[in-house]
Structure 1
Amino acid sequence: LNSYWAWQYILRSGTKYPDNIPDEAAKFPRMRFDEMHLKLNEKIPANTPIRLVKADDNDVPYTIDFIELEEVPEALTFDSITDENKILYTSDDGALQHFVSQYNGKTIFLPEGKYEVDGRIIINGDGTKIIGAGMWHTEIYFTASSDDKSTYNKRGIETYSSNVVLEGLYLNTINNKRYYNNDPVYQVGKGLMGSFGSNSSVKNLWIEHFECGGWIEGADNLNIQHCRFRNNYADGMNLAYGCRNSIVEHCSYRNNGDDDMASWSRADRLCENNVYSYSTSENNWRASALGFFGGKQNKAHNIVIIDPMEAGFRVTCDFPGMPFSNEGYSEFYDISVYKGGVASGTIGISGDLWGNQQGALHINSSSQYDLVNINIYNVDFYDSKNDAVFIGSSVHYIRNLVLKDININGTGRYGIYFNNPKGNGRYCNMQYENIGASSNTNTMPSSFSFTEDCSGVSVPNNKSPEIRLFALDGNLHIGGQQNTMVSVYDIWGRKHYHASMLTGPIIVPNLNAGIYIVRWNEDQTLKIFVN
């Protein structure tokens, strides 16, 4: 464990892109943590105490924020793959990137091991599959140093082909900064990039230490599942520039240096009908855990956001490109945000990178276009560091903002802060508790019409579900349905239970404390905290 990939430093005055060169007088730090993962030689029995011991004989202090223990699946083998189109890669076959280019359309299997690669892997054939033994077993390590500005094209996996499959891999890199020499012209490469064509699939990938975990442009019907985007220097995943009909679900984002989950309708390409769901974000240290910037009918739901340094999630008009569509809604629902937002203050001590305030939910019709048709419902905010919800405008207007069933519990200041918004919105069932200011909101300006309207709010019918949940002493009781398939997931997207409620209530026993998602009838969900 060391700090090679941790600690980024940002100028107090000047460009806000971080690097790894400290300067106490001119810079302030972010990205205080990195993480390592270790496969043990044997399984730890249940209820065994775990102890960390510092073995170094020196006075250097270590701060361990947390450890996670999980059961590692058995490594996949070449013989277990039933695809007749399969082909085995070993280090004896030469550079991996050249091997992939020679076998377009094949199912390429990478056995357990670490593969050092000095160039980008480019997939140029429809139907190509790269399958590893599992994210704990097969590592692709990109070795080209980001201290050389010419190495942008030597990291990550890129494709514009369709029906591509990536599965069971850990992608890592020697890179330890966002850009070469703090210059965005010299990017250091994303873990995943290109369009991935149509109908491609990414599953069980662990991606760390790239500029972005993934930046996809122009995908259609891309499916990303059960991935981990952690410790990257910019976005976790961005579905940008015309991505459509794509789903990113059951993923973990941690310690990334820009929006964890984003969709930016960059330039002249509208992003539409994309979904982020059933995912967690932790310790995002710049921008937000989740953000939409323009687009049409994109959705985010069943998301847990924990300890963001700035906004929890945001919908703004900061970036140039295609605006929010007048057709349908961009939707955020079934989301929990813990300790989101930040108060304005001295750069490097408080506020975002510029010292500005950010709400745990940040809504701002700023510099590029109007903010139109935003639908936010069934959202919980806990212990927001400043304002739970920020609603503001600068040049442009907010039109048809909907807030419904919003629970705000604990704030440093207001439940809702109105920062000179212009336009209109509606709300229904706003709940406030433990508000830090003397009132739930500040004074709303006359330039913004924000009216209570439960009858006319155009949101899906969220009537009380016919399922009942109750948790006690690690046991989850589920009732109220019969002949219904029920699944229980933890916040990492791991399934803990799946069965049919045939005749009456069921009990899911021995759950660890935490947040769980109960799913039934394929499309119905509820969150519950098990103590």
Structure 2
Amino acid sequence: MTAPRSPFPATSLHRPRRFAALVVAFVSASAGLPALLGATAAHAVTPRVVSAASATGGTGASLPYAEVEAEHEPTNGTVIGPSFTQGQPADEASGRKAVTLQGTGKYVTFTTPVATNSMDFRYSIPDSSTGAVYTAPLSLYVNGAKQADFTLTNAYSWYYGIYPFTNTPSSGNPHHFYDEVHRLLPTTYPAGTTFKLQVDSEDTASSYTIDLADFENVAAPLAQPAGSVSVTSKGADPTGAADATGAFNAAIAAAGPGGTVWIPPGTYDIPGHLSVNDVTVEGAGMWYSTIKGTAPGLYGNAAPNPSTKVHLSNFAISGNVQQRCDSCQVNGIGGAMSNSTVSNIWVEHMKVGAWMDGPMTNLTFSGMRIRDTTADGINLHGGVTGSTITNSNIRNTGDDGLALWADAGIGADSQDTISNNTVQVQQLANGIAGYGGDHNTITGNLVEDTGITQGGGIHIGQRFKSTPVGLYTISNNTLLRDGDLDPNWKFGVGALWFDAQQATIAGPLDVSNALIEQSPYEAIQWIQGTVNGVNLDTVTISGTGTFALQDQTGASVTVKNVTATGVAQANQGKAPSYSCDIGHFIVTDEGGNSGITPTQCGPWPAPVYPPYPSTTH
């Protein structure tokens, strides 16, 4: 959902140019009198005393695997990072650190903390000089015993130039460095087993950067449901050698309305779309049943006549999308589906994991595993109501991880819920975004290392020609190391940020129990237009590279139990927050706040990047 944006005109960055304490209208809830946010204590009206509560945030999805960071494991390679500079592999790594193996004998050894019969790891190998696709082996040892090599590729990484990017190195601006590879093992290994990735003499890449590994004890394949129609009974080839589109369509037709189609263990070649309506499509599990092809996808009918009663579950969709094309329908799940469910599906190497074009209602995504896309993870686009995205992991997307886009040409996204998801390393835009819409809820999520370029952690914006932003309930979320320097704006983007670019935001935007940690720049940001109705209640800010709050536009906000520690500017003896909007940044103090006042106005300070001493995660 990120289009290229121009730098702000100089006059809109900040109004006064001198560095000074800022006077901002500040209202004490007890006295109802104006005070001075940024003035000396002698000028301020004392707010009522409230004992501050600490936020606990959210823990994200309940994931079936253990994630282990390479930089914490034994290695004779080079630990890179932490970095918060775009164009460096460490900047795009989970935790902003990784391990580079360069030269024969270099290794990193993971010790699995859980019993496991599978391994997935995130890696980067250098691009070729022309951007041409190649593969390279990497050796695996389990408890010291050599296993079959992994085969790695540059096919789904290394983008260049300006939006929507190319695969041509001469275009400059290299980014999107990582991909993933996974394997189901023939043996279940106990916790404490070592998995060593090592560069042997036959491993031909000039270097290998390893970010993390996931270890999961994958359950046995599911059994075929009674009364279902197997795609192999209609001639589908489970080796993936032959096009299985005709067989899948025949199975869907044979199942009939309300019927069930079964995908047995195997890999099936589906080059394009399958149309689904009033049907259940089930696989043996995301590790067992895989639909692969150039751009495979399962699509509902086009709105305004959406498919209904579609239930998709327990398989994987693996595409071959190597470049972003915004006009191409190359998404894993698409179309419109009402009263439908999509669950436990692994989507990789597509443009978008699921792009749903409304109107539609009552669609639920759960247990999704979306990795390595050129654009969004899941986008509910226009007139999508009463729908839910929950308990899913979204990692390494080329745009927003999860987004509600209430396109005014279609209708408002309303009464939707994004809950208990783990959203990680979005290369462009945000971890979670709401563009317009009303009565939506974002709750219980863990958003990590997102907004590498032009974004942050959680964002609410009146942008992209969306319907008016109404009520959003943003509760119980953790934002960790979110936001980065915007390359066009030339200043940082907040972990939590609000943008009224195209119209005044009325809200209310109710933020509660938010834990914002290790922000490379500011924790919370207001920018463009006028943002009203932001209510911050029990927000704990722990460590920022610049400011606690950064106001760059007119706004009204209520603050209660908002505490900030480890703010870089405060650590340097300066004001912890930023605003140059004299009289236009209206803050109502409900008590219990600390570390967020006063404000300053002046040139953008150099950030002090994390890690910072105090952190929960």
TM-score range (shorter-chain normalised) is 0.7 to 0.9
Partners of 1:212 and 1:237 within 8 A in 2: yes
C-alpha distance in 2, partners of 1:222/1:52? 41
* Cα distance per residue 1:188-213 (max 9 Å; x no partner): 4211111112x211110001111111
In the TM superposition, what is the alpha-carbon distance from 1:386 to its structure 2 partner? 0.7
Deviation of 1:429 after TM superposition, in Å, equals: 0.9
2:586 paired with 1:449: yes
Matches of residues 20-31 of structure 1 in structure 2 within 5 Å?
A: 20-23=167-170, 26-31=171-176
Aligned position for 2:166: 19
Q: How far is the alpha carbon of 1:238 from its aligned partner?
A: 1.1
**Deviations 1:235-291 (CA, angstroms, capped at 9, x unpaired):** 111112111111111000000011111101112401111001111011111100001
Distance 1:188 1:60, change over 3 A: farther
Unmatched segments (≥5 aa) in structure 2: 1-151, 237-243, 593-614
CA displacement, residues 125-165 of structure 1 (integer Å, 9 cap, x when unaligned): 32x01100100000001235xxxxxxxxx644334321110
> Contact 1:96 / 1:117 at 8 angstroms: preserved in 2?
no
**Structure 2 vs 1, CA of residues 529 and 75 (structure 1 numbering), >3 Å: closer, same or farther?**
farther
Q: Is residue 354–residue 379 contact of structure 2 (8 Å, CA) maintained in 1?
A: yes
2:394 corresponding residue in structure 1: 253
Structure 1 residue 399 and structure 2 residue 532: aligned? yes
Residue aligned with 2:331, SS: coil
- Amino acid in the other structure paired with 2:364: N
- Counterpart of 1:524 in structure 2 is none
Structure 2 CA distance, aligned partners of 1:200 and 1:129?
Answer: 10
CA drift at 1:31: 1.1
Q: Is the 8 A contact 1:376 1:402 kept in 2?
A: yes
1:9 maps to which of 160, 164, 171: 160
- Compute the RMSD of aligned alpha carbons: 2.1
The answer (yes or no) to whether the contact 1:120–1:158 under 8 Å persists in 2 is: no
| Structure-to-structure mapping, 1:228-247, within 5 angstroms | 228-247=369-388
> Which sits farther off after the overlay, 89-98 or 409-418?
89-98
How far apart in 2 are the matches of 1:6 and 1:165? Answer: 32
Q: Give the distance between the partners of 2:478 and 2:505, measured in 1 at CA.
A: 26
Instruction: Name the CA distance, whole Å, in 1 between partners of 2:474 and 2:555.
Output: 20
Name the counterpart of 2:235.
92
Q: 1:96–1:324: structure 2 CA closer, same or farther, 3 Å change rule?
A: farther
The AA in structure 2 aligned to 1:324 is V
CA distance in 2, matches of 1:173, 1:371: 41
How far apart in 2 are the matches of 1:100 and 1:355?
54
Equivalent pair of 1:387/1:417 in contact (CA under 8 Å): yes
**Which residue pairs with 1:319 in the alignment?**
464
1:432 corresponds in structure 2 to 564
**In structure 2, do the counterparts of structure 1 residues 353 and 448 end up closer, same or farther at CA, with 3 Å as the change threshold?**
closer
285 and 77 in structure 1: CA distance in 2 versus 1, 3 angstrom threshold:
same
Aligned-partner Cα distance in 2 for 1:213–1:8: 19
Q: How far 1:96 moved relative to its partner?
A: 4.1
Q: Which amino acid aligns with 1:300?
A: I
- Percent identity over the alignment is 23
Kindly indicate whether the alpha-carbon contact (under 8 Å) linking 1:156 and 1:189 is maintained by their aligned counterparts in 2: no
Alignment partners' CA distance in 2, 1:122 and 1:355 = 45
- Kindly provide the CA deviation profile for residues 18-55 of structure 1, in whole angstroms up to 9, marking residues without a partner as x: 222222xx431221100011011101122122211224
Give matches, 1:452-491, under 5 Å: 452-453=589-590
Provide the rounded CA distance (Å) in 1 between the counterparts of 2:405 and 2:153: 34
Please name the residue that 2:271 is paired with. 118
Which structure has more relative contact order (CA 8 Å, sep 6+)? It is 2
Distance 1:423 1:385 in 2: 23
Match of 2:212 in 1: 66
Q: Deviations over 1:408-434 (max 9, x none)?
A: 111110000111x22422111111111
Q: Which amino acid aligns with 2:312?
A: L
1:2, distance to aligned residue in structure 2 (A): 1.5
Counterparts of 2:347 and 2:507 in 1: how far apart (Å)? 34
Q: How does 1:59-458 map to 2 (within 5 A)?
A: 60-78=206-224, 81-82=225-226, 84=227, 86-90=228-232, 92-93=235-236, 95-103=246-254, 104-105=256-257, 106-123=259-276, 125-126=277-278, 128-143=279-294, 155-159=297-301, 160-179=306-325, 184-185=326-327, 187-197=328-338, 199-216=339-356, 217-266=358-407, 267-308=409-450, 309=452, 310-325=455-470, 329-343=471-485, 351-352=486-487, 355=490, 357-394=492-529, 397-419=530-552, 421-437=553-569, 438-443=574-579, 445=581, 446-453=583-590
Q: Which residue of 2 aligns with 1:483?
A: none
Give the TM-score normalised by the residue count of structure 2.
Answer: 0.65
* Residue type of the alignment partner of 1:370: I
* Secondary structure of residue in 1 paired with 2:249: helix
CA displacement 1:361-384 (0-9 Å, x = unmatched): 111211245352111111111110
SS of residue paired to 2:235: helix
Letter in 2 for 1:264: W
3-state DSSP class of the match of 2:567? coil
Distance 1:220 1:188 in 2: 21
Whole-angstrom CA distance in 1 between matches of 2:210 and 2:175: 16
Shift in Å, 1:324: 1.6
Residues of 1 paired with 2:588 and 2:203: CA distance? 65
1:141 corresponds to which letter in structure 2?
K
Q: Do the aligned partners of residues 269 and 447 (structure 1) sit closer, same or farther apart at CA in structure 2, a change above 3 Å counting? A: same
Code of the aligned partner of 1:451: T
Q: Is the 8 A contact 1:178 1:210 kept in 2?
A: no
Letter in 2 for 1:99: A
Checking the alignment, whether the CA contact within 8 Å between 2:511 and 2:535 is kept in structure 1 is: yes
Partner Cα separation in structure 1 for residue 536 and residue 577 of structure 2 = 15
- SS of equivalent residue, structure 2 residue 541: strand
Partner of 2:21: none
Structure 1 SS opposite 2:221: coil
In structure 2, C-alpha distance between the alignment counterparts of 1:444 and 1:234, rounded to whole Å: 35
Q: Could you tell me whether the CA contact under 8 Å between 1:401 and 1:424 is conserved in 2? A: yes
CA distance in 1, matches of 2:331, 2:540: 37
Q: 1:337 to 1:314 in 2, by over 3 A?
A: same
Deviations 1:311-369 (A, max 9, x none): 011111121021123xxx211111111111123xxxxxxx2566553111111211245
Q: CA deviation at 1:226?
A: 0.6
1:83-127 Cα shifts (integer Å, max 9, x gaps): x3x11111725524532552342200000000001221111x32x
**Aligned match of 2:58:** none
What amino acid sits opposite 1:322 in the alignment?
T
Structure 1 residues 353, 136: closer, same or farther in 2, change over 3 A? farther
Could you tell me how far apart the structure 2 residues matched to 1:47 and 1:423 are?
53
Describe the shift of the 1:362–1:206 C-alpha distance in structure 2 as closer, same or farther (beyond 3 A).
same
Aligned partners of 2:436 and 2:463 also within 8 Å: no
